[in-house]
Amino acid sequence: MWDSSPETLVVMVNSTLSYFILSTYIHVGTLRYLYFVLIAMIYICIVTVNTSLIVIICMNRSLHEPMYLFLCSLFVNELYGSTGLFPFLLLQILSDIHTVSVPFCFLQIFCLYTYAHVEFCNLAVMSYDRYLAICYPLQYNTRMTFNKAVIFLFAIWLYSFVKFLITLSLNIRLPLCGNIINSLYCHNYLVVKLACSDTVVNNIYGLFGVVLTIVVPLLPILFSYMKILKVCFSGSKQTRQKAVSTCTPHLASLLNFSFGCLFEILQSRFNMTGLPSVLRIILSLYFLIIQPLLNPIMYGLQMSKIRNTCKHLLCH
């Protein structure tokens, strides 16, 4: 969307690489200030709505339940992922030379990848929570206690951080023959493609990581919704209405996030130059912009306790 074309820099093997060049930015002249304002407004909205809901959940004792604890973790993750992208993006918009230091690039990779993994795992646990609430309403409080929810969330965040620390430890040691990344931000797969040495270990672990990131959370999601559908078809009208009201925001969030991640994976691994550059840029930022905005709006409007708490605070 924004940029002047930087000169190509060839980095020889074993030379000291101090920065990467982001080549996707497009020169737009004075429109950069308009884009800066738009992106800044989006970031302010994301921070405001997610922080507000976190504060509401933490301060209201009636919301200290597993379902709202999972939501709180989701909102914290939206802030975490957004902060890994937006401040950096705002600086790049105003800059004429789109470079990023190597340490910061790997830090950004870690933030964005752990954000995506935590998001997907969090949604998987939330689907299991909805399954218990709909299929075992009388036993829900014993099957999903507050302590169990805390353990689930601790495992999700720890698992995500450890998994991508291993990924970074494998990638940092790679000797690179170039420093041009065809993206708006640092991307793990694109950095590995710059390597001069054998990347078999990185590719195998990367494939293994994709399976862990997608397949493992997908299993509880599919299991939970199969059981929920079974109960809906055999249950009463009231049960179906409860299932629809509680699962609609979760399904919308899951499908939205999956679409954004799928396009980003396809774009990084296949040649998609046939698409307009502006469209590619928008879609590459989709899961990092729409998801943090969509989740608090959907859950804030759908969950009656959160909605009523917001009304109460506004009235006072």
For 174-227, the pLDDT digits (tens) are 888 888 888 888 888 888 888 887 778 888 887 787 777 788 888 888 888 888
- 12 is a domain residue: no
pLDDT of residue 5: 42
* pLDDT for 13 beyond 70: no
* pLDDT for 301 beyond 70: no
Model confidence at 151, in pLDDT bands (50, 70, 90)?
very high
pLDDT of residue 263: 80
Rounded CA-CA distance 63/68 in Å is 6
307: nearest Cα among 126, 60, 141, 137: 60
Rounded CA-CA distance 129/136 in Å is 10
Residue 18 amino acid letter: S
- 6 is a domain residue: no
Residue 209 amino acid letter: G
CATH of the domain at 233: 1.20.1070.10
Q: How many domains does the chain have?
A: 1
Rounded CA-CA distance 205/156 in Å is 19
Query: Strand runs (DSSP E) across 200-254, as ranges?
Result: none
- Predicted TM-score (pTM) of this structure: 0.86
Model confidence at 172, in pLDDT bands (50, 70, 90)?
confident
* pLDDT for 273 beyond 70: no
- 170 is a domain residue: yes
pLDDT of residue 307: 66
- 4 is a domain residue: no
C-alpha pair distances (Å), 16 with each of 34, 46, 124, 173: 37, 38, 42, 12
Percent of the chain with pLDDT over 70: 87
Q: In terms of residue numbers, what domain contains 180?
A: 19-315
Q: How do 19-22 and 180-181 pair as beta strands? A: parallel
- 261 is a domain residue: yes
pLDDT of residue 74: 93
- 44 is a domain residue: yes
Q: How do 19-22 and 99-101 pair as beta strands? A: antiparallel
* pLDDT for 298 beyond 70: yes
Rounded CA-CA distance 255/260 in Å is 9
For the ranges 8-17, 142-151, 169-178, which has the lowest average pLDDT? 8-17
- pLDDT mean across residues, the chain: 82
- 58-105 pLDDT, tens per residue? 888 878 888 889 999 999 999 999 999 999 999 888 888 888 888 899
